[in-house]
Amino acid sequence: MEEQQVAAAEQIVDHTSENVASSVNQKLRPVDNGKPEMLWRSDDCNHHPDDFCYICGYFITRTTTKHTLRKDTKLYEAYKQYFNIEVEHQDKQWVPHYACHNCTRRLHGWYQGENRLMEFAVPRIWHSPSNHQTDCYFCVVNLASGQKKSTYPDIPSSRAPIPHSAERPIPQRTCETAVSTTTISTVSGSSVPSSESLQLQGGVLNIPHYPNQTEINDLIRDLALPKNKSELLLSRLKQWSLLDESVRITSQRTRDEEFSSYYTSEDGICFCRDIEGGYFYLFG
Ligand SMILES: [Zn+2]
Ligand SMILES: [Zn+2]
């Protein structure tokens, strides 16, 4: 019965591979052409849509804050102004109904005149899925743990964000309540360039980047910093507002726990007791 429904839905839902990029300055519409949608239930998915961010599509962990997308909020207005499109389909199950803390902080900051920007000019764009196997973001997405990076698909029902470039510049704020950047954007007494003053350098847009937990973990690993120096580095970067909100200063204290089950210590010697398990955890 379900196969018949899916097959019928594949016939009636018209997903074209339109280029979202060409529509960046136009109001984006779903590609359903007014045709009836397939019978799609989030209960049938590997992951629940509301565990993801509507704007970037990233998984929102249970320890981070979710922000509701409501019409009467600044976030809603900021999204509309930054991307020149509306938040859509909030009455449907097949879109997330929340934004992650990182997107919210960046959009709020930009909207209020702070030196914060989105990393992309076009957000993730959602359409109705045609099936769970190949065209459902919440079934296809590959969430990884440990050192493995999650991979987020670019499929007809969920188009990946498109970065800023010379053709897709940082938008100008039009909000009347936007405040001057000079009152906020200082680091150690030095003025930080406002979003309007950011320029292309060597063809690459010079956008400030605030590393998240994964990126800062990679940096600490590359620098081979011990726990105490890692914590000092994170503390300073946090103090200067140069880190993503998701980064925890104390995160390095327990960084060994992830792999501790694969090691043991006997007679003062520490050795790997489960090479195969550790290998599959890292690369499997
Ligand atoms: Zn699904
Ligand atoms: Zn997000």
Contact predicate 120/5, CB 8 Å:
no
pLDDT band for position 47 (50/70/90)?
very high
Q: What pLDDT sits at residue 58?
A: 94
Is the confidence at residue 165, as pLDDT, over 80? yes
Residues with a beta carbon under 5 angstroms from ion ligand 2: 53, 55-56, 100, 103
pLDDT band for position 19 (50/70/90)?
very low
C-alpha of residue 245 to centroid of ligand 2, in Å: 12
Report the chain's mean pLDDT, rounded to a whole number: 76
Is the confidence at residue 53, as pLDDT, over 90? yes
Q: Which of 126, 136, 156 is nearest to 42 (CA)?
A: 136
Which ligand places an atom closest to the C-alpha of 49? 1
Q: What pLDDT sits at residue 158?
A: 97
Which ligand places an atom closest to the C-alpha of 153? 1
What's the mean pLDDT in 125-152?
89
- pTM exceeds 0.75, yes or no: no
Q: What pLDDT sits at residue 247?
A: 82
C-alpha of residue 118 to centroid of ligand 2, in Å: 10
Contact predicate 272/247, CB 8 Å:
no
Give the integer Cα–Cα distance in Å for 29 and 69.
18
Q: What pLDDT sits at residue 95?
A: 95
C-alpha of residue 31 to centroid of ligand 2, in Å: 23
pLDDT band for position 284 (50/70/90)?
low
C-alpha of residue 83 to centroid of ligand 2, in Å: 14
pLDDT band for position 163 (50/70/90)?
very high
Q: Encoding tokens for residue 76?
A: 């809603």
C-alpha of residue 58 to centroid of ligand 2, in Å: 6
C-alpha of residue 90 to centroid of ligand 1, in Å: 17
Q: What pLDDT sits at residue 7?
A: 44
Kindly report, residue by residue over 114-132, the tens digit of the pLDDT.
Answer: 888 899 999 999 999 999 9
Is the confidence at residue 3, as pLDDT, over 80? no
Is the confidence at residue 30, as pLDDT, over 50? no
pLDDT band for position 222 (50/70/90)?
confident
Kindly report, residue by residue over 237-257, the tens digit of the pLDDT.
Answer: 888 878 877 788 888 888 887
C-alpha of residue 66 to centroid of ligand 2, in Å: 10
Report which of residues 120 and 197 the model is more confident about: 120
